Amino acid sequence: MIVIGGGPGGYVAALEVARLGGRACLIESEALGGTCLNKGCIPTKTLLASAEMLSKFRKAEEFGFSAKNVTIDVSKILKRKDAVVNRLGKGIAFLLRKANVDVFMGKGRLKRKNEVEVALKEGTSMTLSGENIIIATGSRPSIHPSFNYDGDIVITSEEALELNSIPDSVLIVGGGVIGCEFACFYSEFGAEVTIVEMEESIIPTEERDISGLLTTTMKKRNIRIETNMKVESVQKKDGKAYVTLASGDTLVVDKVLISTGRMPNTEEIGLEEVGVLKGSKNEIIVDYNMGTNVDGIYAIGDVTGKMLLAHVASAQGVTAAENIMGIKTKMDYKAIPRCIFTFPEVASVGMTTQEATAANFDVKVGRYSFISNGKALAIGQGEGIAKVLVDGGTGDLLGVHIIGPNATELIAEATVALQLDASADDLARTVHAHPTLVETLREAAWGVEY
């Protein structure tokens, strides 16, 4: 098997084929770990951990400590971020070597159905042959021309990870996951932050009351949020960005951060030469085995346009690898957790109320507030709720939604419950340790009114 792309889908697929007794090689054009490790999940969470630490210093007096005159060293924050990324990258390289997966640093392109041409970084090229090929080339930020992107004043999340100082003001175009996470980061470090979102709410794919609560808490942090609003143009003058909104207002800021989604990297990899079909959004069309329309060619991760999440890419990688090795499995999207590392965190799994209602379920709801949870009050983080959606006819779980402390960890229990087709009663009758944050899920399940 030949894997094109060494991100969380590609390297996991290569390791899985090797584990099952196959022979795999991997081609990576930039750095092992892909966007997730080098320009996405890991560096952003490392920066957010620094912001969270700063927040704790500011609340120290509440817990009986004095921590005044806290100074910020952005260079050390970036140095720590780079150290975390480098350590994990070395770990991936070690796992691949241990599994005897050959790694070629360069750009891969499909030459024939079973051949990939590699333009190596040192300037030479080579051709690899394999029975099967997995395309795992990921995605990149989507940038509209009207935003006047330059990578300096108008940036994406990739440049935001390398800023050597905190700007005084930032306008974020897009109130999705990336936009809201960076808003919390910049706000905590003292920047004046504005989010402009075209939809009627931020994180518009999540539960409306969850989005509403996040909006409230972010506004308490002095983050300005403009919904149902469009950025008409961005002009640059004297080191500043002049952002004109559809309302006619013009905002002057130091930086504009574009977070309006991502697009699959399907260009220049030879799809047309071998006849691999793409969809309307340039994504590679795959079935539940992760196979394309061309026998022996698979695609996984963001490039498929399914769910642009690192853990989905890894699961798809395992599915593709198992099918290549003769184990017939299908990718199951029923219980995929979605996590947003804002302050407070947001996490969900399964259907939203809107989706369940549209699917004609008799939706019943149970809620429980963190303000009534002993552990949440003990740690000084009582904001948020846990919400359980249930099929009123069967009692089966349909979805779980959390905004509150450690939500991204708490969602794991709900994910297992949904994967195993548990009912709300199963969740409610499971004994939970006390005092813990996860008791909010049990209480929410108990609170479902049929």
Intra-chain end-to-end CA distance of the chain, in Å: 52
DSSP label at 412?
Answer: H
The encoded tokens of residue 34 equal 């892909």
> Is the separation of the CB atoms in 101 and 15 below 8 Å?
yes
Q: Report the distance separating Cα 121 and Cα 112, nearest Å.
A: 22
> Is the separation of the CB atoms in 348 and 207 below 8 Å?
yes
Q: Report the distance separating Cα 291 and Cα 270, nearest Å.
A: 17
Task: Classify each residue of 276-307 as buried b or exposed e, where b means 16 or more C-beta atoms within 10 Å of its C-beta.
Answer: bebeeeebbebeebbbbeeeebbbbbbbbbbe
Q: Report the distance separating Cα 157 and Cα 38, nearest Å.
A: 11
What are φ and ψ of residue 399, in 5° steps? -170, 155
Catalytic (active site) residue 434: yes
Q: Which helix (H) or strand (E) holds 193?
A: strand 192-196
> Is the separation of the CB atoms in 42 and 88 below 8 Å?
yes
> Is the separation of the CB atoms in 255 and 193 below 8 Å?
no
**Catalytic member of 311, 401, 432, 434:** 434
What are φ and ψ of residue 313, in 5° steps? -60, -45
- C-alpha distances out from residue 255 to 130, 153, 155, 341, Å: 46, 5, 7, 22
Q: What is the 3-state secondary structure (H, E, C) of 266-327?
A: CCCCCHHHHCCCECCCCCECCCCCCECCCCCEEECHHHHCCCCCHHHHHHHHHHHHHHHCCC
Could you please report the per-residue DSSP string of 23-37?
A: --EEEESS-TTHHHH
Which positions are catalytic? 434
